Amino acid sequence: MTKKRKVLVTGANGLIGSRIAELADLDFDIITMSKTKNEWVDYVVDFKNVEEITEVLNLSNPDVIINAGGITSIEFAEINRAETTLVNVDAVKVIARWCEEREARLIQFSTDFVFNGTKDWYCESDIASPISHYGQSKLKSEEIALNLGSSVVIRTSLVYGLTNHMSRLNFPLWIYNELTKGNTLKITADQFRSPTFVDDLALATIDLIEHSFNGIIHLAGSKRLNVYDFALEAAELFCLNIELLTPINTDNSGQNVKRPMSTGLNNGLALAVIGYKPRSPKEGLKQIFKKLNTQKN
């Protein structure tokens, strides 16, 4: 019997990390790492304690590390710059150094927020120019990962979905939660993203574990939507009152940190490399709605 490759997934309580671990469990020996403990997590590590990262890597000795952990809140990152740099940059240095010494493969998650948002669509070769500390920290993590001979940097956008092991709501589930309570929401209609269904992202990431591809690759949704229209699609599919949603412009949103206005991610390279064909937002949202109904029953 062929021995399964050991794959360590960080951020295992998050949406991306948990879904990758769930879907890869049959084909790989999955090891999970997270900041918070539950029955799903093998190792509890706070990325602020970089010594602990090395200890766990030495103990688990993975063949591949999928780094889906880190600080993702743009507001938190802007206020807590030193901590964000420690978690999103210095921790990646430790992981990358270990991978280099052990000849392990690193798959590093990044973000559409490495771009400044002045174009409708971005390819991997477009110049990254982040306008927030969060984006800057993720760009630095990209550069660290790419210094390795065997690494992949995955950029994605507005990831959504429903898993068994996630620690917080993502955008459509937040919409569902608030509208179910009858709360009104003001949503920006002038910021454009590529909403990405987590199952598509996770399966594509799994395809890259043993693939020969190295470098930056975009794995995002197939459509570029403004955030309000995405919220509207979710509300309609979840059979909720769309009158509770109000479109607003960014200038009136009260957002304290600058966000790129448009970050459509072109998936052409991913289609050529791994045949990546993500579902439309409507198709992805339908999958969430099915799961929500199943949970109710």
64-67 and 6-10 strand pairing: parallel
pTM of the model: 0.96
Which bin fits 214, alpha (ψ -120 to 50), beta or left (φ > 0)? Answer: beta
State whether CATH 3.40.50.720 applies to domain 6-159+196-220+264-275.
yes
What's the confidence (pLDDT) of residue 177? 94
* Sign of torsion over alpha carbons 196, 197, 199, 203: negative
Question: To the nearest 10°, the Cα dihedral for 87, 88, 89, 95?
Answer: 80
DSSP code of residue 55: H
185-195 confidence digits (pLDDT tens): 999 999 999 99
DSSP 25: T
pLDDT in tens, 243-257: 999 999 999 888 889
Identify the pLDDT of residue 21: 96
pLDDT of residue 3: 79
* pLDDT tens digits, one per residue of 31-66: 999 998 888 899 999 999 989 999 999 999 999 999
Euclidean distance between CA atoms 142 and 215, whole angstroms: 9
pLDDT at residue 149 is higher than 90? no
Name the packing angle between helices 198-209 and 281-296 (round to 10°).
110
DSSP letters of 141-155?
Answer: HHHHHHTSSSEEEEE
Output the six-digit token pair for 29: 């020996």
Q: What is the mean pLDDT of residues 221-249?
A: 96
